Chains A and B, each alone.
Chain A
Amino acid sequence: MATTVHEPPKIELDRLPSQGSGNGGSRNLFPADGDLRRVKDHAPPPASTGIWVGLAGITMTFAAFTSALIVRQGSARDWQHISLPSILYLNTLVIIASSVTLEVSRRRIAAFMGGLKDKTKTPGENPARWLYITLALGLLFVAGQTFAWMQLRSQGFKLATNISYSFFYVLTVAHALHLLGGLGGLIRVIGKLNHAVLKRSTLDATSRYWHFMGVLWVYLLVLLWMKL
Chain B
Amino acid sequence: MSRLRARCFVLVFFPLLGLALAQEPVRLTLMVGMTPQELASFRPALEALDAAHPEFVVDLEPVPQQSFAERANVRLASGTLPDVVRMDGLVAQRLIQSGAFLELSSLPGFDGVDLDDYFPGVLAPYRTGDAIWALADTASPTMLFYDRAKFDAAGVAYPTDAWTYEDMRRAAVRLTRDAAGRSPLDGGFDPARVVQWGWNNSLTMYWQRDLVQALGADWCADVLCTTFAATAPDVVAAVQWWADLVQVDHAGLYAPFSGAQTGIPGSAFLAGVAAMGYHGFFAVGQLNAIGGIDYDVAPPLIGVDGRRRASLSINGYAIAADTEHPREALALLLALTSPAFLAETWGRPGHAVPARRSAAPSVVDPARAPANQDAALVAMEVGAVFHPFTPSAFEAYALTVDLFAAMMRGDLPVAEALSEIERVLNETLAGDRLP
User: Do the two chains belong together in a single complex?
Assistant: no
Q: Which residues of A contact B (CB under 8 A)?
A: none
